[in-house]
Amino acid sequence: MKSARKPKLRPGSPKDAPQDVPGLAVRQVAAAIVDGVLRRHRALDELLDSADAKAAVPGLAALDERDRALARAVVATVLRRLGTLRHLLGRFLEHGPPPAAPRVETALLIGAAQILFLAVPDHAAVDLAVRLVQADRQAMHFAGLVNAVLRRVAREGAALVAGLDAPLLDTPPWLMARWIKTYGDATAHAIAAANGREPALDLTVKRDPQSSAAASAAAWAAQLGGRVLPTGSVRVVAHGAVTALPGFAAGAWWVQDAAAALPARLLGDVAGLRVADLCAAPGGKTAQLVAAGAAVTAVDRAPARLARLANNLARLSLSAELVCADVGTWPAEQQFDAVLLDAPCTSTGTIRRHPDVPWLKRAVDIAGLAGLQRRLIARAVALTKPGGTLVYCTCSLEPEECEDVIAELLAQEQNIRRVPISAADLGIDADMVTPTGELRTLPCHFPDADSRLAGVDGFFAAKLKKL
């Protein structure tokens, strides 16, 4: 049986693409963000949520909250399923997308993502993708190609995608190879599969002075229609803007992945202690420590990120000393009872929430960051009082940024000892603690019958004592 003929790159018939077509503005913003990530190598958060995002992305400022959420969903789906989408489109394009007109591939990715993975009618997805290329001078002559390919996606795409190994396709080969080497084939595949699912919203609840922490979390879980995880975080399947949820404006809780909430708890009872939170922005751990009664000095080198931290603390009615400085050279006047270092890393444990990460990071980035992490942890040791506690953590899955950093530190520093972590104390399963007593969560941990409530960020943390 002969296969269907692939359409060739033949010019279509361009026509006007009026800007007031319903839904077109959202797709234009989505296309600009996809191009920003894939072609200009800019981070998704930078294009969506930074102070200059609206200036960097034409049309973003004009979108209301609902349209902005739709644009985010389209972009996230394209990035989360990029390997699958490119593989599928490659079967329908004889010579691949035209390199001189990058907006053609962008329009095809956005159209195919909506057809296959989002609840957008096929005809609307096709029409809006065609209009995207018609509005681009370099791409306008390929409108007929885009129309033909997406119609084939609508007819044949779902059946073809069902037969693909999506987790393998949607993970860059260099990254999958690393995970297989570190965690084994089955776990690496489970990590990749978890990264392909949109994550739930995790919240850390500020304790109500009139009740216990557990009761406060349970009350907000009930109000938001969520559940309390064994770790104490509240997990919610949220629809719409986070800022519109009950409790946000009142500062009753803050957004923080359940795994990201664990490292601060490793410091134990910090009430009355002086604690340094290094590389602190956006401030979830700072808020935990302040809410637990610590006098916190939060240090971050990025003014914009520190301003965001300040805004978050203000909303929560919490206060800390904020210092804009490079942790590696910060001349602190005195040592601290406890230090928490959340070191810069490749963030490969957060792909569920940041689907741009695998397409922006490279294997060579790991070595450079590992060098930085070693310098920062040496500074963190110097900032810790004798007898004090130091917690080192990253959201990386790569051993060079995690276990290897601690092993090297312990080999070089005779006055540092590892304090084994107790799974029971954190409310986690024993397989989330390594044989040497360090925290290691994986995106495939926290399974749930409801896939919308499954998974957690990949995090590493080690608890250390300075003798």
Counting other chains too, the contacts that 183-187 makes at CB distance below 8 Å and 24 or more residues apart are 183/397, 183/442, 187/442, 187/444
Token pair of 17 as six digits: 């693409």
Task: Please give the C-alpha separations between residue 271 and each of 82, 292, 298, in angstroms, as whole numbers.
Answer: 46, 6, 16
3-state DSSP call for residue 314?
A: helix
What is the b/e burial string over 281-298, where b = at least 16 CB atoms within 10 angstroms of the residue's CB? bbbbbbbbbbbbebbbbb
CA–CA dist 346, 392 (Å, integer) = 15
C-alpha to C-alpha distance for 103 and 36, rounded to whole angstroms: 11
**Residue 306 has what DSSP assignment?**
H
Q: What is the spatial distance between Cα 159 and Cα 116, in angstroms, rounded to a whole number?
A: 10
- The answer for 279, left when phi > 0, alpha when psi is -120 to 50, beta otherwise, is left
Query: Rounded to whole angstroms, how far apart are CA atoms 319 and 291?
Result: 9
In whole angstroms, give the CA distance from residue 285 to residue 273.
15
CA distance 266 to 460: 12
Tokens 């994986």, located at residue? 442
Q: Which of 279, 393, 395, 402 is catalytic?
A: 395
Cα distance between residue 126 and residue 148, in whole Å:
9
Residue 230, number of CB atoms within 10 A of its CB:
11
Known catalytic residue at 279: no
Separation of alpha carbons 251 and 254, rounded Å = 7
Q: What is the DSSP letter of 327?
A: G
Catalytic residue numbers read: 395
